[in-house]
């Protein structure tokens, strides 16, 4: 064991380069954590149908019962996993400032692309399955190492690979001092990953048999040999010579450094950078003030047993660890995670025991025999006792027995009904402890009405509120880390993102330099955008759209024919028809429904009209200047007075035409303003009419429902 008595506080003040003493203390802390992983593995065994122990299998064998597996946990857990798949929502980017709404709209389209291409939904779904079954799941958000693949990677990590700081209290581990992932990798691949550490890896693999570390000038190998000899663990913990694998430990840790921050007028603070000219300008103008603070720094180190192969600052564009935890439940005292299966194991074990008991009761036989009833030369008492429960049993009686009724066989099945009732009660107890009711499993219940069945489903969703809330929080953390990658890669680079709106498509430009009256500015600057990731309120799954379509169809059927023309296009957009938006627009045209013009498009049209008016005005001014030039040239040439008079008349006539055109343009400008106002009024009228129609439809639907009652 490495001596760490001299540095008992080494872990508290981890610097930019973690020492072997600090890492040894971290390893000891991880070994002394609560032993929760074995229970989580057992929970997963119950889900996989491997809950019968060796003792239970022996009981089955002794009782002559064939192996059986009454696994009621798996369908119950699958029902919970199905709820997540049906209610899955997409990411959405929102902006704090309305002026940055276009940035949020473009990044929303980008984050959906990243979510799809990085397989984030699959990884998050697997992590949800792990958290429901074992209590915790992990998702890695990082860059893809293969340059031929999509640049971002989202993968589910097995819980037994991740070890974290047990003193952390935050659900996102933002206050954790460290997090370690252990992964077995091929030795040849590790040598290619760390070419400067090839000699160290080879010597450790060979057990230092091919090198005399105390002869020569390589003091680094001597130090590595001494560290490995002092390491208190066997080489089998990180070297598997039979398979040619080595275990790498990826350690993410935080240390603190003194730094300066700029406090903005609204109270926010950002880290001060001396090489940033904007920070210098803001500080010089007195708009901000400097404050000294203690800021956390994140680093990553790669260890092979006691040997540190790498230690660098975090390559991530954020200060968090790249592993996001998905918690189900955590114990109050020990903070150990556990899932839904933990409370279901007791009823499941009782069901298996009761199944064995029921089998024994149904096959139990009571035999009463006199001492002279059997022909002992043909069968013994033991043979009769062993074969009597069989349907093909044969017993040879003594023909000279004194009592003709001296051999009696009875079957006691009175307990079978009680045992069967206990089995059914334990099945209902599994539903009760998990919060998953029979209606959620699609089974028949005592609820006869649709409202009662829906209430059972909603009650089950309420029982699962805490794990589902934890899941939504963790899913949002994954989205925030993906957004950090997207923003970092888009900084300072002009780019464009296509945004689809119904059957139309527009392009949002980022970091594009445009000219204004005050000079060049950056349009949709990513660096200054104040945005955040949220989850959509409406699920984006086909099953949810089908539910909406079914409810909307009932409303349309109950609506009058005049209102159905308004509702049919909206109902069509809820289907999965590929060109549903185009068909909906055609239905609106057939029904003579004027589509409402979005405020953004109306503003763009008005701006284009104003630009056209300004262009015509500039053309008229250029014509007037040309006429003045012609007049000046005519005067300098000293032409005849008559000719001058004619020219002056032409110039005067041209001036009159210009003034008339100016008046006409002014009238046209007023006319365009009036038309724009009419469009606004028409849009407001359409919105009010639509609201009134919707209210009438709902009132008619409610009235019809009352009449049916």
Higher pLDDT pick, 667 / 594 = 667
What is each CA distance from 582 to 27, 60, 550, 655, in whole angstroms? 62, 65, 21, 52
pLDDT at 487: 93
Q: Rounded CA gap, 37 and 31, in Å?
A: 12
Q: Rounded CA gap, 51 and 443, in Å?
A: 24
Name the 3-class secondary structure at 468: helix
Q: Rounded CA gap, 460 and 487, in Å?
A: 39
Q: Write down the residue that tokens 């989205």 correspond to.
A: 479
Structure tokens at 340: 């839904």
Higher pLDDT pick, 709 / 54 = 54
- Decide: 460 and 106 in contact? Cβ < 8 Å: no
The DSSP code sequence of 611-663 is HHHHHHHHHHHHHHHHHHHHHHHHHHTT--HHHHHHHHHHHHHHHHHHHHHHH
pLDDT in tens, 360-380: 777 777 777 887 778 787 888
- Decide: 40 and 339 in contact? Cβ < 8 Å: yes
Q: Rounded CA gap, 27 and 9, in Å?
A: 15
Kindly indicate the confidence band of residue 350, based on its pLDDT and cuts at 50, 70 and 90: confident
Structure tokens at 560: 């009058």
Q: Rounded CA gap, 151 and 158, in Å?
A: 22
Q: Rounded CA gap, 299 and 315, in Å?
A: 8
Kindly indicate the confidence band of residue 166, based on its pLDDT and cuts at 50, 70 and 90: very high
pLDDT at 226: 86
pLDDT in tens, 6-58: 444 444 456 678 999 899 999 999 999 999 999 999 999 999 988 787 887 88
DSSP code of residue 155: E
Query: Beta partners for 338?
Result: 329
Which region among 69-83, 97-111, 655-669 has the lowest average model confidence (pLDDT)?
Answer: 655-669
pLDDT in tens, 688-697: 665 566 556 5
Q: Rounded CA gap, 327 and 293, in Å?
A: 32
Mean pLDDT value of segment 382-405: 77
Q: Write down the residue that tokens 């709820």 correspond to.
A: 83
Q: Rounded CA gap, 5 and 74, in Å?
A: 50
- Decide: 17 and 255 in contact? Cβ < 8 Å: no
Q: Rounded CA gap, 509 and 521, in Å?
A: 13
- Decide: 273 and 279 in contact? Cβ < 8 Å: yes
Residue 332: how many other CB atoms lie within 10 Å: 6
Surface-to-core class of residue 400, CB atoms within 10 Å of its CB (0-12 exposed, 13-18 middle, 19+ buried): exposed
pLDDT in tens, 91-122: 989 888 888 888 988 999 999 999 999 999 99
Q: Does the pLDDT value for residue 450 go beyond 80?
A: no
Mean pLDDT value of segment 265-271: 83
Q: Rounded CA gap, 114 and 533, in Å?
A: 13
**pTM of model > 0.75:** no
pLDDT at 568: 67
Higher pLDDT pick, 653 / 334 = 334
Average pLDDT, the chain: 79
Q: Does the pLDDT value for residue 609 go beyond 80?
A: no
Q: Write down the residue that tokens 């091929």 correspond to.
A: 186
Q: Does the pLDDT value for residue 409 go beyond 50?
A: yes
Helix (H) or strand (E) holding 459: helix 450-463
How many CA within 13 A on the CB side of residue 537? 1
pLDDT at 542: 61
Q: Write down the residue that tokens 């002394």 correspond to.
A: 32
Residue 547: φ, ψ to 5°: -65, -45
Q: What is the chain's length?
A: 709
Which range has the top average pLDDT, 96-105, 178-187, 223-232, 679-688? 178-187
End-to-end Cα distance, the chain: 80
What is each CA distance from 11 to 6, 8, 29, in whole angstroms? 12, 7, 11
Select from 314, 324, 336, 304 the least CA-distant residue to 23. Answer: 304
Q: Does the pLDDT value for residue 428 go beyond 70?
A: yes
How many CA within 13 A on the CB side of residue 399? 1
pLDDT at 286: 82
| Whole-angstrom Cα Rg for the chain | 40
How many CA within 13 A on the CB side of residue 649? 6
Q: Rounded CA gap, 211 and 505, in Å?
A: 67
Residue 134: how many other CB atoms lie within 10 Å: 27
Q: Rounded CA gap, 627 and 337, in Å?
A: 88
H-type alpha helices, 497-590: 542-558, 561-572, 580-590
pLDDT at 297: 92
Mean pLDDT value of segment 244-255: 94
């Amino acid at each position: 064991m490495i001596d760490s008595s001299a540095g008992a506080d080494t872990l508290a003040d981890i610097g930019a380069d973690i020492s072997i003493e600090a890492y040894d203390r971290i390893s000891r802390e991880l070994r002394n954590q609560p032993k929760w992983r074995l229970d989580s593995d057992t929970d997963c065994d119950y889900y996989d149908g491997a809950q019968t122990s060796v003792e239970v299998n022996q009981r089955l064998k002794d009782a002559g019962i064939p192996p059986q597996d009454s696994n009621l946990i798996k369908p119950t857990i699958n029902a919970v996993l199905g709820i997540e798949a049906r209610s899955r929502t997409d990411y959405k980017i929102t902006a704090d400032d309305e002026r940055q709404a276009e940035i949020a709209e473009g990044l929303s389209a980008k984050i959906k692309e990243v979510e799809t291409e990085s397989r984030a939904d699959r990884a998050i779904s697997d992590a949800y399955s792990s958290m429901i079954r074992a209590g915790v799941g992990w998702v890695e958000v990082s860059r893809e190492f293969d340059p031929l693949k999509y640049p971002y990677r989202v993968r589910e990590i097995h819980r037994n690979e991740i070890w974290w700081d047990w003193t952390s209290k935050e659900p996102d581990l933002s206050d954790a001092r460290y997090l370690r992932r252990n992964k077995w990798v091929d030795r040849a691949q590790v040598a290619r990953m760390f070419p400067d550490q090839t000699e160290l890896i080879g010597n450790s693999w060979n057990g230092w048999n091919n090198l005399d570390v105390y002869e020569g000038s390589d003091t680094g190998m001597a130090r590595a040999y001494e560290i490995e000899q002092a390491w208190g663990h066997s080489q089998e913990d990180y070297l598997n010579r039979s398979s040619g694998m080595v275990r790498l430990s990826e350690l993410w840790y935080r240390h603190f450094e003194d730094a300066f921050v700029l406090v903005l007028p609204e109270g926010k603070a950002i880290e001060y950078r001396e090489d940033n000219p904007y920070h210098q300008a803001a500080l010089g103008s007195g708009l901000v003030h400097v404050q000294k603070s203690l800021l956390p720094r994140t680093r990553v180190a790669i260890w092979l047993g006691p040997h540190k192969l790498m230690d660098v600052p975090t390559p991530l564009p954020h200060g968090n660890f790249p592993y996001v935890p998905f918690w189900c439940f955590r114990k109050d005292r020990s903070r150990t995670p556990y899932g839904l299966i933990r409370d279901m194991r007791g009823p499941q074990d009782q069901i298996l025991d009761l199944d064995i008991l029921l089998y024994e009761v149904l096959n139990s036989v009571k035999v009463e025999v006199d001492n002279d009833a059997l022909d002992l030369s043909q069968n013994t008492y033991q043979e009769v006792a062993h074969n009597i429960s069989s349907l093909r049993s044969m017993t040879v009686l003594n023909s000279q027995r004194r009592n003709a009724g001296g051999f009696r066989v009875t079957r006691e099945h009175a307990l079978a009904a009680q045992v069967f009732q206990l089995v059914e009660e334990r099945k209902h107890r599994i539903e009760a402890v998990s919060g998953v009711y029979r209606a959620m499993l699609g089974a028949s219940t005592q609820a006869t009405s649709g409202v009662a069945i829906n209430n059972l489903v909603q009650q089950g969703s309420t029982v699962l509120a805490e794990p589902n809330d934890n899941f939504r929080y963790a899913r949002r953390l994954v989205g925030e880390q993906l957004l950090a990658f997207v923003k970092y890669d888009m900084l300072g680079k002009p780019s464009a993102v296509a945004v689809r709106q119904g059957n139309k498509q527009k392009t949002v430009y980022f970091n594009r330099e445009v000219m204004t009256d005050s000079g060049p500015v950056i349009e949709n600057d990513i660096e200054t955008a104040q945005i955040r990731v949220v989850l959509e309120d409406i699920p984006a799954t086909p099953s949810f759209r089908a539910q909406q379509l079914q409810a909307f169809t009932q409303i349309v059927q109950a609506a009058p024919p005049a209102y159905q023309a308004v509702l049919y296009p909206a109902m069509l957009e809820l289907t999965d028809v590929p060109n549903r938006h185009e068909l909906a627009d055609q239905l609106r045209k057939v029904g003579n429904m004027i589509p409402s013009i979005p405020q953004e498009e109306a503003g763009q049209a008005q701006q284009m009209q104003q630009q056209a008016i300004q262009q015509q005005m500039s053309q008229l001014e250029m014509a007037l200047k040309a006429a003045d030039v012609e007049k000046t040239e005519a005067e300098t040439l000293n032409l005849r007075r008559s000719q001058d008079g004619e020219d002056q008349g032409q110039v005067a006539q041209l001036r009159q035409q210009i003034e008339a055109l100016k008046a006409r343009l002014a009238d046209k400008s007023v006319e365009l303003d009036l038309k724009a106002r009419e469009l606004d009024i028409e849009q407001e009228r359409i919105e009010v009419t639509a609201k009134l129609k919707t209210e009438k439809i709902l009132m008619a639907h409610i009235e019809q429902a009352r009449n049916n009652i």
